[in-house]
């Protein structure tokens, strides 16, 4: 089992090193694409430096959600966008995304999210990826336990809870 | 509990049979077994034992593979049930697969069903309000459907009876149009809900915002502890089944209670094909059941039969119960069986913001959801160009305004430390629809389901009255919101097909005249007196209240009557 965002995901049955590491039913993602998505995820929300969040594998969670919870059209634009990220990085910075420095990566994703003309075909991908990465992060056991505690059993309701004035 | 292994007729004979174990069937079974009647409770789906069969109940959000979302394949496979708000990754197991239980839609109708022990009482929205005479007298006053054969005084003691046992939270609001009940403490309105209540009181006569009344144990009484139920813990994860028994369901309450009497035989996987009518005796003698797994046909016998299969399936069973005496369905001399189906009009919602009360937010969760607006249109007299009116939900909520436009450390910080948003307010309408002969169900002449039972064919639609009512709700609530100083007010049409309100009613309506109705004032078939219908099928009109509490009261009342009649030898 692979843990992604705190849940177990079936590893791929394939031994092909070119394939994604988790089992996907609908979309095809190669090991290279998976590695790129991992870098993009880390750029969107850096978790590597957070003890306890290092292994959230938000990119795998994203792949799983795109595979199971998006329609064919969204899956298509997701793959197209992902495929074009390296090209855009090359054009802008002369390097693949993974080889760009942190500032360049953030600048590129910001430009994509602003739907700049040349990057328009990547924007739908980033929208989906970002939404899922945020979801995977915020609904992870780590965040829901250590940072923003989710209460399964509140046992109370107060409709006049005072807001602390800053 | 007696075993049903033997083939002998004796083993298949009971004092009473209850068809369906949902909210009304659970009550029928509880009442009949408590009176000492050996009762067979038939359920077409699987068993669901309280707590033990709530597999998701204690899961954290991150323990769900898709964080609560229903995967696309499941949505494609079951598009109808996927439109139900309660159908989520944590409740999938309490809903059926569309294609396994087909029906014919002459017009779009989203038929939401819960085929398991407890039925939809596991996933219901738990709102519980009494009817008043302004509701029961509606058809007679406004000239639609037929007059109800009962009035508030007939059912009031039974409302009290079921409320005490089920546990209904609410306040004594003193409103003639929404009678007070036997309440556990109500859940107080929050800062902005109360603010709106005050504004509405100031700006309008006869419009009220009250705490929603719901089947939640806000303060357990001995009768709840005796059921093994405890205080509601404000989880608002009710649709998963509650490990505390904090809300009312057949599973947590009436069925285990009935089992404790030693008089209950619960038989899951038993779809009822029809009611058996004996031409010589002139009454029903039992039911024909198909075992849903083996598809074997079995007959069970009893002196009285309670039909609680949920409104439309009750229609189906009665229509399919044909005999020489009743060629068009049991009790159907009037020819009206399956007709005058109605529902609740949930077609519009409204939202807004309030830029005040910033010193407050909410903490914890309100299990009943907030406020309730009793019907104020056409209550005391006719005042609009449409008949009847609507109740509405009203709630206020203060969340966060998360700016997720950034990346990296900025985004992480924005997600983890978002600023409080202004209060947001919302409401949804619950409109009465007018029962009409043209809104009906029949049996399809060709199509059958996997158990050889004819498929139900549904022809139900909105009408002009509904459209006028939607507009009125939007106009009135826009005005009420504006006068309260709410901003960014937006109405949104839900585009729900009938059925998705999950308040379908009628088809086997009550009435005094056997020529114009199927059931008498005791929920007894006029023409086959040992058959009782106490679920939504019996409803002569729908009014605007969430109907389950009324079905509970009808079930307890009819069971009491049936028992007395049995004792007298009249059934």
Q: Least CA distance to A131: which residue of chain B?
A: B404
Domain that holds residue A104: 2-147
Chain A residue with minimum CA distance to B403: A134
CA distance B333 to chain A (A): 51
**Mutate which: B60, B243, B369, B417, vs A, most A CBs within 10 A:** B60
Q: Residue A36 is inside which H or E element, if any?
A: helix A31-44
For residue A91, the tally of other CB atoms under 10 A from its CB is 12
CA distance A18 to chain B (A): 25
- B419 near A CB under 8 A: no
- For residue A141 the two structure tokens come to 């056991």
Q: How confident is the model at residue A1 (pLDDT cuts 50, 70, 90)?
A: low
| CB–CB contact B362 A139 (8 Å) | no
Q: Which residues of A touch B74 (CB under 8 A)?
A: none
Is some CB atom of chain B closer than 8 A to the CB atom of A18? no
Q: Which of residues 501-540 of B touch A (CB under 8 A)?
A: none
- In a mutagenesis test of the A interface, which of B73, B407, B420 is the best target, namely the one with the most A β-carbons within 10 Å? B407
Which segment of A49-63, B400-414, B455-469 scores lowest on mean pLDDT? A49-63
Measured CA to CA, the distance from residue A7 to residue B62 in angstroms comes to: 7
pLDDT (0 to 100) of residue A165:
64
Place of tokens 């004032």: B521
* A161 in any annotated domain: no
At B8, is the pLDDT very low, low, confident or very high (cuts 50, 70, 90)? confident
Nearest to A45 among B235, B363, B411 (CB): B411
Question: B349 and chain A: CB distance < 8 Å anywhere?
Answer: no
Alpha-carbon distance of B340 to B327, in angstroms, equals 20
Residue-wise pLDDT tens digits, A88-99: 999 999 999 999
Lookup result for tokens 């600023």 = B419
CB contact under 8 A, B61 and A110: no
At residue A6, the pLDDT reads 63
Assigned token pair, B235 = 């989880």
Q: Does B435 touch chain A (CB under 8 A)?
A: no
- Average pLDDT score over residue span A16-34: 92
A51 has pLDDT over 80: no
> Which chain A residues are Cβ-neighbours of B72 within 8 angstroms?
68-71
Quick one: which of B543, B564, B566 has its CA closest to B142? B543
Which chain A residues contact residue B57 at CB under 8 A? none
Indicate whether A157 belongs to any domain. no
Say whether B560 sits in a helix, a strand or coil.
Answer: helix
Name the pLDDT band for A164 (thresholds 50, 70, 90): confident
Q: What's the half-sphere exposure (Cβ side, CA atoms, 13 Å) at B345? A: 26
Q: Token pair for residue B506? A: 């009628």
Closest CA to B371 of B181, B553, B233, B200: B200
Parallel, antiparallel or unpaired: strands A2-4 and B183-184 = unpaired
Chain B residues inside the 8 Å CB shell of A108: none
A75 lies within 8 A of chain B by CB: no
Predicted pLDDT at B5: 54
Residue B2 has pLDDT above 70, yes or no: no
In terms of Cα–Cα distance, which of B111, B516, B524 is closest to B340?
B516
Which of B344, B345, B348 has the alpha carbon at shortest distance from B475? B348
Among candidate residues B123, B126, B113, B103, the one with its CA nearest the CA of residue B81: B113
Phi, psi (deg, nearest 5) at residue B258: -65, -40
Q: B548-568 vs B23-34: helix axis angle to the nearest 10?
A: 30
Given this model, what pLDDT does residue A8 score?
Answer: 74
Whether residues B420 and A163 touch (CB distance < 8 A) is answered with yes
Tell me whether residues B72 and A69 touch, CB distance under 8 A.
yes
| Nearest Cα residue in chain B from A8 | B65
CA distance B170 to chain A (A): 15
The β-bridge relationship of strands B454-459 and B104-105 is parallel
**Residue B417 CB burial class (10 angstroms; 0-12, 13-18, ≥19):** exposed
To which H or E segment does residue A126 belong? helix A123-138
Least confident of A1-10, A94-103, B275-284, B302-311: A1-10
A71 and chain B in contact, CB less than 8 A: yes
DSSP lists the bridge partners of residue B16 as B39, B304
CB B175 within 8 A of CB B570: no
Query: Binning pLDDT at 50, 70 and 90, where does residue B7 land?
Result: low
Average pLDDT for residues B440-466, to the nearest whole number? 98
User: What per-residue confidence (pLDDT) applies to A11?
Assistant: 78
**Contact residues for B257 (Cβ-Cβ < 8 A; gap 6+):** B30, B34, B227
Which H/E stretch holds residue B139?
Answer: helix B138-142
Exposure of B477 in the CB half-sphere (CA atoms within 13 A): 30
Model pTM?
0.96
Rounded Cα gap, residues B289 and B297, in angstroms: 6
Task: Give the angle subtended at the CA of B96 by the CAs of B98 and B68, to the nearest 5°.
Answer: 105
Which residues contact residue B434 at a Cβ distance below 8 angstroms, ignoring those fewer than 6 apart? B144, B145, B342, B387, B388, B463, B465, B541
For residue B347, pLDDT beyond 60: yes
Listed range (B4-8, B26-30, B487-491, B506-510) with the worst mean pLDDT: B4-8
Chain A, residues 126-145, CB within 8 A of chain B, namely 130, 134-141, 143-144
Q: Which of B71, B367, B408 sits opposite A46 (nearest CB)?
A: B408
Element of type H or E holding B530: strand B528-533
Provide the 3-class DSSP secondary structure of residue A91.
helix
Q: What values do phi and psi take at B19, rounded to 5?
A: -100, 105
Residue A127, pLDDT > 90, answer yes
Structure tokens belonging to residue B372: 């309730």
**Cβ-defined contact of A153 to B233 (cutoff 8 Å):** yes
pLDDT value at B234 more than 50: yes
In chain A, the number of structural domains is 1
Is B366 near chain A, with CB under 8 Å? yes
What lies within 8 Å, CB to CB, of A162 at 6+ separation is B359, B360
Stretch B81-102: mean pLDDT:
97
Say how many residues make up chain A: 166
The predicted pLDDT at position B310 comes to 98
Residues 6+ apart with CB under 8 A from B294: none
Chain B interface test: which of A67, A160, A166 (most B C-beta within 10 Å)? A160
Is residue A158 assigned to a domain? Answer: no
Give the rounded distance of the alpha carbon of B306 from its chain centre. 18
What is the C-alpha separation between A30 and B258, in angstroms, rounded?
A: 58
pLDDT tens digit string along B126-157? 999 999 999 999 999 999 999 999 999 999 99
Residues contacting A21, CB < 8 A, separation 6+: A2, A11, A12, A31, A34, A60
How many angstroms separate the most distant Cα atoms in chain A?
Answer: 58
Residue with tokens 């059931």: B519
| Residue B238: predicted pLDDT | 98
- What percent of chain B has a predicted confidence (pLDDT) above 90? 98
Question: Per-residue pLDDT averaged across B379-395, rounded?
Answer: 98
- Contacts A62 to B, Cβ<8 Å: none
- What does the CA dihedral A85, A90, A91, A92 come to, rounded to 10 degrees? 90
Q: What is the mean pLDDT of residues B428-432?
A: 98
Q: Residue A108 and residue A92: Cα distance in Å, rounded?
A: 8
Residue A152 lies in a domain: no
The ipTM estimated for the assembled molecules is: 0.93
Strands B420-432 and B304-307: unpaired
pLDDT of residue B1: 42
Residue bearing tokens 């609009």? B384
B66–A contact, CB cutoff 8 A:
yes
Using an 8 Å CB-CB cutoff, list chain B residues near A70: 72
Q: CB of B99 within 8 Å of any CB in chain A? A: no
Q: Which residues of A touch B189 (CB under 8 A)?
A: 159
CATH topology assigned to domain B9-127+241-343+436-455+505-536+546-568: FAD/NAD(P)-binding domain (3.50.50)
Nearest of B139, B78, B112, B101 to residue B498 by alpha carbon: B112
Burial of A63 (0-12, 13-18, 19+ CB in 10 A): buried
State whether A150 and B72 contact (CB < 8 Å).
no
Q: Residue B325's pLDDT is what?
A: 98
In DSSP terms, B104 is beta-bridged to: B457
Nearest CA in chain A to B398: A159
Distance CA B27, CA B308 (A): 10
C-alpha distance from residue B59 to each of A69, B63, B72, B269 (Å): 20, 6, 22, 28
Residue contact B416–A143, C-beta within 8 A: yes
Please tell me the least confidently modeled range out of B1-5, B120-124, B397-401.
Answer: B1-5
Cβ-nearest to B65 among A7, A156, A160? A7
- Short-list B258, B237, B311, CA closest to B1: B258
Residue B219 touches chain A, beta carbons under 8 Å: no
């Amino acid at each position: 089992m692979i843990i992604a965002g705190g849940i177990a995901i079936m590893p791929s049955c394939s031994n092909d090193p070119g394939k994604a590491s988790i089992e996907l039913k609908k979309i095809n993602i190669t090991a290279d694409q998976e590695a790129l998505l991992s870098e993009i995820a880390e750029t969107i929300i850096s978790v590597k430096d957070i003890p306890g969040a290092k292994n959230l594998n938000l990119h795998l969670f994203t792949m799983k959600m795109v595979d199971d919870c998006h329609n064919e059209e969204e899956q298509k634009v997701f793959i197209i966008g992902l495929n074009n990220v390296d090209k855009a990085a090359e054009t802008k910075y002369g390097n693949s995304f993974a080889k760009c420095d942190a500032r360049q990566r953030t600048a590129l994703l910001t430009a994509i999210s602003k739907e700049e003309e040349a990057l328009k075909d990547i924007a739908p991908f980033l929208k989906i990826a970002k939404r899922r990465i945020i979801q995977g992060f915020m609904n992870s056991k780590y965040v829901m336990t250590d940072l923003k505690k989710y209460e399964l059993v509140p046992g109370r309701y107060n409709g006049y809870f005072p807001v602390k004035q800053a | 509990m007696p075993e049903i292994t033997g083939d002998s007729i004796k083993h298949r004979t009971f004092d009473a049979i209850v068809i369906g174990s949902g909210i009304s069937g659970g009550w029928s079974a509880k009442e009949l077994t408590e009176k000492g009647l050996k009762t067979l409770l038939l359920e077409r789906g699987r068993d669901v034992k309280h707590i033990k069969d709530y597999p998701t109940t204690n899961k954290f959000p991150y323990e769900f593979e898709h964080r609560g979302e229903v995967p696309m394949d499941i949505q494609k496979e079951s598009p109808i049930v996927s439109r139900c708000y309660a159908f989520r990754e944590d409740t999938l197991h309490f809903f059926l697969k569309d294609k396994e239980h087909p029906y014919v839609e002459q017009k779009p109708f989203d038929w939401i069903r819960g085929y398991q022990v407890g039925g939809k009482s596991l996933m219901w929205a738990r709102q519980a309000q009494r009817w008043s005479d302004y509701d029961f007298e509606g058809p007679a006053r406004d000239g639609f459907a037929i007059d109800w054969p009962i009035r508030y005084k007939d059912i009031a003691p039974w409302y009290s009876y079921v409320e005490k046992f089920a546990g209904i939270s609410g306040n004594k609001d003193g409103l003639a149009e929404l009678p007070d009940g036997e309440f556990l403490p109500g859940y107080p309105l929050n800062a902005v809900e109360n603010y709106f209540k005050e504004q509405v009181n100031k700006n309008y006569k006869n419009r009220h915002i009250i705490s929603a009344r719901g089947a939640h144990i806000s303060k357990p009484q001995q009768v709840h502890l005796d059921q093994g139920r405890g205080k509601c813990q404000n989880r608002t994860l009710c649709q998963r089944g509650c490990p505390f028994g904090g809300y009312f369901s057949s599973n947590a309450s009436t069925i285990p209670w009935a089992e404790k009497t030693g008089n209950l035989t619960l038989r899951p996987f038993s779809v009822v094909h029809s009611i058996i009518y004996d031409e010589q005796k002139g009454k029903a003698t039992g039911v024909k059941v198909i075992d849903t797994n083996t598809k074997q046909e079995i007959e069970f016998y009893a002196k009285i039969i309670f039909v609680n299969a949920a409104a439309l399936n009750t229609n189906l069973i009665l229509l399919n119960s044909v005999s020489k005496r009743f060629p068009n369905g049991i009790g159907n001399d009037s020819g009206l069986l399956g007709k005058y189906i109605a529902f609740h009009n949930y077609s519009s919602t409204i939202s807004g913001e309030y830029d005040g009360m910033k010193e407050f937010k909410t903490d914890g969760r309100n299990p009943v959801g907030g406020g309730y607006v009793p019907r104020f249109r056409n209550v005391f007299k006719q005042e609009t160009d449409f008949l009847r009116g609507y109740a509405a939900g009203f709630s206020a909520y203060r969340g966060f305004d998360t700016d997720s436009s950034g990346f990296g450390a900025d985004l992480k910080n924005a997600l983890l430390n978002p600023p409080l948003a202004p209060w947001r307010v919302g409401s949804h309408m619950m409109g009465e629809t007018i029962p009409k002969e043209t809104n009906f169900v029949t049996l399809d002449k060709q199509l059958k389901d996997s158990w050889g039972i004819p498929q139900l064919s549904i022809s139900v639609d909105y009408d002009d009255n509904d459209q006028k009512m939607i507009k009125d709700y939007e106009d009135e609530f826009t005005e009420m919101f504006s006068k309260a100083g709410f901003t960014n007010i937006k109405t949104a049409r839900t585009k729900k097909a009938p059925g998705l309100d999950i308040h379908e009613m009628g088809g086997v309506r009550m009435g005094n005249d056997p020529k114009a109705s199927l059931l008498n004032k005791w929920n007894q078939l006029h023409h086959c007196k040992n058959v009782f219908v106490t679920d939504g099928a019996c409803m002569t009109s729908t009014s605007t209240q969430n109907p389950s509490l009324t079905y509970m009261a009808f079930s307890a009342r009819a069971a009491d009557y049936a028992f007395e009649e049995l004792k007298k030898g009249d059934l």
